[in-house]
């Protein structure tokens, strides 16, 4: 059944692609059949005798070969002329369609050249992301006796950075919730601190300032007691000076990613159909790890990346299709799952565009 449906879709696609040529060919065939039938009807109903051997016609009057030829020419020339003119027009039209396809193919090659260059630049942007972690290293005496711990720098690069940034954002959001009850407003404020840095002059951020100092004492300053992984109820993997802001790194990353998606989504639909655009965007999305899609989702929800879903890049073009629910903040996972589902509720026509074309990958398992 699936094979039959696939064959029918392929047949309809071919007909749709060559619709003009198909219609003209059908019209030409109908014209030829109609003209032939008209000619046949004429000779089958009138008192007309054709004797090819003796060049006799109609009333059995004998004609010379030239007159006989003129008679057939007068009858057949209109039919042949109309058919020839139509075939000539059809040939020119087919050539026009072929030229248009060549032009479109050239445009596609230009598009692909620019698109793959954008992917290359995206990979470079990811590879340039870097965070310096502080790990505590135990110092030993000359006899091997354990002494105090000393900080040791460790550079984290590439996609691993997003997992660490998610952890810092979680700590920021959890602290802001202590003095802002509304979760959406709290997250917007927390993301602003995470993205731009903490302004210690603001009185309502004293809680975060205190948190940063306690965090520094526990993780970044030398101590005889090695830091634990849990800090004030939060599992910590981000071990560096908190709330310094990441706009310098993330701003360029998100601007380029947004322009890449926009380039594909808004490309001339006469050259790239919707399914073609989806195919290329799947290639781009394949470059994003789960935590990249998570941080992209947070960027949108914070309002900094408002245009991502304003332009339907999440719903119509599936740019967070692979975002799993199990990597949302543990302490508020249900809230963010609901936010994710709100995209579905707001865009019902994009929920299921075709067989197996789910809005989220997790929908396949339901």
Cα–Cα distance, 364 to 358 (Å, whole number)? 7
Is the distance from CB of 265 to CB of 281 less than 8 angstroms?
yes
pTM to 2 decimal places: 0.74
Match 């039209």 to its residue by tokens: 93
Where residue 45 falls among pLDDT bands split at 50, 70, 90?
low
Cα–Cα distance, 263 to 260 (Å, whole number)? 5
Query: Token digits for 151?
Result: 């900080």
Element (H, E) at 36: helix 19-45
| Per-residue pLDDT tens digits for 163-209 | 999 999 999 999 999 888 899 999 999 999 999 998 755 656 788 88
| Per-residue pLDDT tens digits for 225-255 | 666 788 888 899 999 999 999 999 999 999 9
| Per-residue pLDDT tens digits for 10-19 | 655 555 555 6
C-alpha Rg value of the chain to the nearest Å: 36
| Per-residue pLDDT tens digits for 289-314 | 999 999 999 999 999 999 999 999 99
Which residue did the predictor score with more confidence, 327 or 60? 327
In the chain, what is the straight-line distance between the N-terminal and C-terminal CA atoms, in Å? 23
Which residue did the predictor score with more confidence, 138 or 213? 213
Q: Average of pLDDT values for 73-87?
A: 67
Is the predicted pLDDT of residue 52 greater than 60, yes or no?
Answer: no
Where residue 105 falls among pLDDT bands split at 50, 70, 90?
confident
| Per-residue pLDDT tens digits for 318-365 | 999 999 999 999 999 999 999 999 998 887 766 555 667 788 887 776
Q: Average of pLDDT values for 76-96?
A: 68
Where residue 31 falls among pLDDT bands split at 50, 70, 90?
low
Dihedral of CA atoms 76, 82, 86, 91 in degrees, nearest 10, equals: 50
pLDDT at 2: 44
In terms of residues, how long is the chain?
Answer: 366
């Amino acid at each position: 059944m699936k094979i039959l449906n696939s064959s029918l879709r392929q047949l309809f696609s071919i007909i749709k692609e060559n619709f003009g040529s198909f219609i003209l060919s059908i019209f030409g065939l109908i014209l030829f059949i109609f003209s032939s039938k008209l000619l046949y009807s004429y000779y089958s109903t009138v008192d007309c005798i054709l004797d090819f051997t003796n060049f006799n016609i109609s009333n059995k009057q004998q004609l010379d070969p030239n007159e006989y030829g003129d008679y057939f020419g007068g009858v057949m020339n209109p039919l042949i002329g109309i058919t020839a003119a139509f075939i000539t027009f059809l040939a020119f039209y087919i050539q026009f369609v072929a030229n248009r396809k060549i032009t479109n193919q050239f445009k596609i090659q230009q598009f692909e050249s620019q698109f793959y260059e954008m992917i290359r630049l995206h990979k470079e942007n990811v590879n340039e992301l870097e965070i310096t972690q502080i790990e505590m290293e135990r110092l030993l005496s000359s006899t091997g006796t354990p002494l105090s711990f000393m900080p040791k720098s460790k550079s984290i690069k590439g996609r691993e950075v997003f997992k660490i940034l998610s952890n810092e954002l979680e700590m920021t959001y959890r602290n802001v919730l202590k003095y802002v009850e509304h979760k959406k407003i709290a997250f917007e404020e927390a993301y602003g601190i995470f993205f731009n840095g903490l302004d210690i002059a603001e009185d309502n951020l004293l809680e975060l300032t205190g948190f940063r100092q306690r965090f520094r004492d526990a993780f970044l300053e030398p101590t005889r007691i090695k830091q634990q992984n849990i800090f004030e109820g939060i599992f910590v993997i981000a071990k560096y000076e908190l709330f310094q802001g990441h706009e310098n790194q993330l701003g360029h990353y998100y601007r380029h990613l947004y322009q890449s998606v926009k380039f594909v989504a808004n490309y001339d639909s006469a050259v790239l159909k919707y399914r073609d655009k989806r195919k290329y965007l799947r290639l781009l999305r394949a470059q994003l790890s789960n935590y990249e899609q998570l941080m992209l989702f947070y960027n949108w929800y914070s309002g900094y990346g408002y245009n991502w879903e304003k332009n339907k890049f999440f719903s119509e073009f599936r740019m967070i299709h692979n975002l799993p629910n199990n990597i949302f903040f543990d302490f508020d996972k249900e809230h963010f799952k609901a936010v994710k589902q709100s995209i579905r509720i707001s865009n019902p026509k994009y929920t299921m565009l075709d067989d197996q074309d789910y809005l989220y990958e997790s929908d396949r398992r339901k």
